[in-house]
Amino acid sequence: MAQDTLVRKLDEVVHRAELLVREKDEAVAKMRSLERETRHLRSLISLAESKADEMLKDVSAADASNGPVTLKASEGFEQLKRAFPLAFMTDFL
């Protein structure tokens, strides 16, 4: 009788361990997916930043004859970097 109880408890422990391994594997897969998404978003942000720089250069070149132009785009980008520091880390992985 005591042996049956011990075997049942051992089975429960094995089942719980298998469940924990499965949950860990799911969490690792989710983390990898989020890391891929983060890299993709970083590249999109970088592309948007370079396009914005191109557009701002064109604007500042066209307005150069009218005097100095103050551009706020880089300030907004710096605010994004402060708000989402992990998205801009280059050594994340």
Of 56, 51, 48, nearest to 72 (Cα)?
56
What is the pTM (predicted TM-score) of this model?
A: 0.53
Give me 19's structure tokens: 């469940």
pLDDT tens per residue, range 11-34:
999 999 999 999 999 999 999 999
pLDDT of residue 21: 98
Statement: residue 7 has pLDDT above 80: yes
E strands, 1-93, in order: none
Q: What is the pLDDT of residues 76-88, one digit of tens each?
A: 677 777 777 777 7
CA distance 26 to 21: 9
What pLDDT is stored for residue 9 in this prediction?
A: 95
